[in-house]
Structure 1
Amino acid sequence: MVGPSRHSLPQWMSAASRVDFDGAANVSRSDASASPSSPPHRRSSSSDSDMGFGERALSAAGAAFLSAILVNPLDVAKTRLQAQAAGVPYYPSQPQYGRQMASLCANTILSDIRCSPSCAHGGIFGTEAARPPDRFQYKGTLDVFYKVVRQEGFARLWRGTNAGLALAVPTVGIYLPCYDMFRNWIEEFTTCNAPNLTPYAPLVAGSLARSLACITCSPIELARTRMQAYKEFQNGVKPPGMWKTLLGVLSPHRSTSNHQNLQSYRILWTGVGAQLARDVPFSAICWSTLEPIRRRLLALVGEEGHAVSVLGANFSAGFVAGSLAAAATCPLDVAKTRRQIEKDPARALKMTTRQTLAEIWRDGGLKGLFTGVGPRVGRAGPSVGIVVSFYEVVKYVLHRRHMDL
């Protein structure tokens, strides 16, 4: 790995990017050479003081908007693969399916007779379970793309995009600005009181910010997962949107009592425990990996950095960090999906993340725990890279504008 540059890091960089992760609370070489006998301290980034919460949230929301549109097909593929492993059928109900297969299979005379073993369709009719043919089974990411486009239309790859946008904009709009502020507060405190803990500021700040964002936006995440997991079999029928999906979640719990209705709203936070169990480690791994990588890349650029180099360094660091974090937390993502697509309300409220993981292990073993890891990693790497690079470029541009004024 490239060592720290002898030049000081750019002034526009965020505070955490200026922390030396090679040693506990070491300052940059320029700071150390300026005052070798003084206690270590962090030079504040002028961009942090120039940007308010509104500007941070706006730039983060813009990044989230772009990312949510670009990577939505991978999100659909990941959710479909995980839902299929959980038992969600992607073929018509048995009576309809049996009638369709009976018309195709010349070897079948009565609906309660098995197809011939040589029959390519392999259906079993009557009271016995029908084994769907390969065209109703997803075998991988590309297979999901192909079958969704062929059976449902190209637009279905962007199923749940409205919920994804409704989720991404407030989530990232909360997440990145809060991460910046939490990290700066933690660094200021640890630099003065516990210098050895300063390198862990991104990990703690990322975990706190992600927890706040997850709890706030969990109902929208529930709607998006359900929208992407289920398939509409009736031709010409528009699948339910985000609000209709949420109302469908609430409808079995409605009663005449306002108190009971208030209690029933907690069903909208189904799976929030699994989501936190997934996103908090994801954020901790992501930021503790991303910060040192982008710090070293940006140290090579120094004060001569421009928007393109800022974009490249942050996208590269975000891509690597997001991919690693997504792969490591895939089992928790599988558990989150299974919790949120559970149709039995009583079971959905009683199931814990630990029980869900045990159930997944029992049903599918290690392969079951990493169902959908390909599209998840393929989604998270570019998504984190896009969000972080867009966010930092906007900070860079705003900082330059403040300097010119």
Structure 2
Amino acid sequence: MSSQRSSSVPRGDITPVQQMIASCSGAIITSLFVTPLDVVKIRLQAQRNPFPKGKCFVYCNGLMDHICVCENGISKAWYKAPGHFSGTLDAFIKIIRMEGIRSLWSGLPPTLVMAVPATVIYFTCYDQLCAVLKLRMGDRSDYAPLLAGAVARVGSATVISPLELIRTKMQSEKQSYRELSAVIQSALHNQGWRSLWRGWGPTLLRDVPFSGYLAALHLYCKKKKCPNMSNTCLSTCIFLFQFASIVTLPFDVVKTKRQVELGELQTMKLSTQVSSSTYYVMKRIVAENGVSGLFAGFLPRLIKVAPACAIMISTYEFGKAFFRRYNQKKQRVT
């Protein structure tokens, strides 16, 4: 019986369950480490400027103090919106000062909940699809990682989209679970279940090309340049990851805008079709904030990519290597 069980796993290979375990550990560690950067990124992407460039020149007579914060105490002063963040460091300082350091981990529960299925679905589907496609594509098997990465990301992004919406709403502003629940119930009542997948389109535009490209890059580096994922290769991958994250950042901004607007459009009694198009949202962002608005949250996203990718790739590869050695040892014994 033991020899039959061990023969079900090809020599040197690992089971899907072992792939899931290897991927989950990295996902949990990554979520704990980079959540503050996610909070800051989403705050920068979600904030609105009530005045051109965030300021207006008015007389400082006290009449506007309930709306704006006077930057100096003279009779004429620049006013700017309270809570407006001028940059990444400013956002960190103001969030900690006004809401406490725990706010930097807002949305951590849904982040942890979504990290497990997202990572399990992506990495497991990627490895399984890649193996199948290589057998079927023959001479064109070099394209297998690209296609497998894209298909795996579509599946994982679709499954976790409602959880990502909840996380984005929690990280965009300080609110209780009761307030969030009321917003979601209102959206379900007015728009149906499809409202839970708000921002799904730009999410795919952000993640699918990114994942397909990174999957092919990762496999190339591992096989052609550094079979053991050396520090040099890992550094090269991280650098290219950062480049890919910058290119796809505008879609991340659109995704955040779409998800943050859940419940706000009903409150303002505006049509929910106002911002249903990714292209329209991009045009609106450029009109309000210029082209730079499409790259809001640039620095925290850039900083996040390096540790996130390093932890995920290293942990996943270590986990697979561990289980591969374990299976080989078990097969030799049996």
- 2:136 aligned with 1:208, yes or no? no
CA separation of 1:190/1:383 partners in 2, compared to 1, >3 Å: closer, same or farther? same
Please, which of 161, 166, 186 is the counterpart of residue 223 of structure 1?
A: 166
Q: Shift of the alpha carbon at 1:246?
A: 4.7
1-side partners of 2:28 and 2:71: how far apart? 51
The answer to whether the 8 A contact 1:314-1:392 is kept is: no
Note if 1:396 corresponds to 2:321.
yes
Instruction: Give the counterpart letter for 1:181 in structure 2.
Output: Q
Aligned to 1:265, which of 193, 198, 203?
193
CA 1:56–1:132 in structure 2 vs 1: closer, same or farther (change >3 Å)? same
Structure 2 match to 1:54:
17
SS in 2 for 1:254: helix
Count residues in correspondence. 308
The residue correspondences of 1:38-117 to structure 2 (distance < 5 A) are 46-48=11-13, 51-85=14-48, 108=62
Alignment match of 1:364 (pick from 278, 285, 289) = 289
Which shows bigger deviation, 382-391 or 335-344?
Answer: 382-391
- The answer for the alignment partner of 2:107 in structure 1 is 160
Q: CA deviation at 1:248?
A: 2.1
Cα pair 1:83 1:229 within 8 Å, conserved? yes
CA distance in 1, matches of 2:222, 2:184: 42
Looking at structure 2, the residues matched to 162 and 216 of structure 1 have their Cα atoms a distance apart, in angstroms, of 17
Is the CA contact (8 Å cut-off) linking 1:210 and 1:280 kept in structure 2?
yes
Q: Distance in 1 between matches of 2:196 and 2:63?
A: 48
Distance 1:120-1:387 versus aligned 2 partners, 3 A rule:
farther
Q: Aligned-pair distance for 1:52? A: 1.8
Please give the alpha-carbon distance, in whole angstroms, between the structure 1 residues aligned to 2:88 and 2:71: 30
Residue ranges of structure 1 left out of the alignment (5+ in a row): 1-44, 88-104, 125-129, 232-238, 256-262, 302-309
- Contact kept in structure 2, 1:71 and 1:379, CA below 8 Å: yes
Q: 1:117 to 1:276 in 2, by over 3 A?
A: closer
The Cα shift of 1:47 comes to 3.9
Matches of 2:35 and 2:105 in 1, distance apart?
Answer: 6
C-alpha spacing 1:184/1:155, structure 2 compared with 1 (3 Å):
same
RMSD: 3.2
User: CA offset at residue 278 of structure 1?
Assistant: 1.0
Q: Distance in 2 between matches of 1:55 and 1:214?
A: 22
- Deviation of 1:174 after TM superposition, in Å, equals 0.6
CA contact (8 A) 2:70 2:80 kept: no
8 A contact 2:41–2:301 mirrored in 1: yes
The amino acid that maps onto 1:179 is: Y
Give the TM-score, by structure 1 length. Answer: 0.68
Kept in 2, the 8 Å contact 1:297–1:313? The answer is no
Distance (Å, rounded) in 2 between the aligned partners of 1:367 and 1:396: 43
Question: Which residue in the other structure is 1:344 paired with?
Answer: 265
Cα distance in 2 for partners of 1:278, 1:54 equals: 28
Q: Deviations over 1:149-195 (max 9, x none)?
A: 1111111111111111111111011111101111111111112xxx1
Match of 2:189? 254
**1:386 CA displacement:** 1.1
Q: Partners of 1:65 and 1:378 in 2: how far apart? A: 18
Gaps of 5+ in 2: 1-9, 51-59
Q: CA deviation at 1:111?
A: 8.0
Mark the CA change 1:115 to 1:210 in structure 2 (over 3 Å): closer, same or farther: closer
Counterpart of 2:238?
319
Measured after TM superposition, the shift of residue 265 of structure 1 is 1.4
Residue deviations 1:325-372, cap 9 Å, x none? 211100000110011111215426861111111212222232111111
Choose from 132, 154, 162 the match for 1:185: 132
Kept in 2: contact 1:323–1:377 (CA 8 A) = yes
Larger Rg: 1
2:142 to 179, 199, 205: 199
CA drift of 1:46 comes to 4.4
Cα separation, 2, equivalents of 1:116 and 1:374? 28
| Change in CA separation of 1:397 and 1:154 when aligned onto 2, cut-off 3 Å | same
309, 326, 335: which one pairs with 2:254? Answer: 335
Query: 1:322 Cα shift?
Result: 2.5
Pairwise CA distance, 1:294: 3.0
Q: CA deviation at 1:73?
A: 0.8
Question: Residues 211 and 280 of structure 1 are in contact (CA less than 8 Å); yes or no, is this contact kept in structure 2?
Answer: yes
CA distance 1:313–1:184, change in 2 (3 Å):
farther
CA distance in 2, matches of 1:110, 1:277: 42
Cα shift readout 1:58-102 (whole Å, capped 9, x = no counterpart): 221111000000001110111010011477xxxxxxxxxxxxxxx
Question: Which amino acid counterpart does residue 152 of structure 2 have in structure 1?
Answer: A
Q: Describe the shift of the 1:118–1:400 C-alpha distance in structure 2 as closer, same or farther (beyond 3 A).
A: closer
Superimposed CA distance per residue, residues 110-162 of structure 1 (whole angstroms, 9 cap, x where no aligned partner): 989x99996369789xxxxx7435xx321111111111111111111111111
User: Larger relative contact order (C-alpha < 8 A, sep ≥ 6)?
Assistant: 2
Q: Do 2:154 and 2:208's aligned partners in 1 also have CA atoms closer than 8 Å?
A: yes
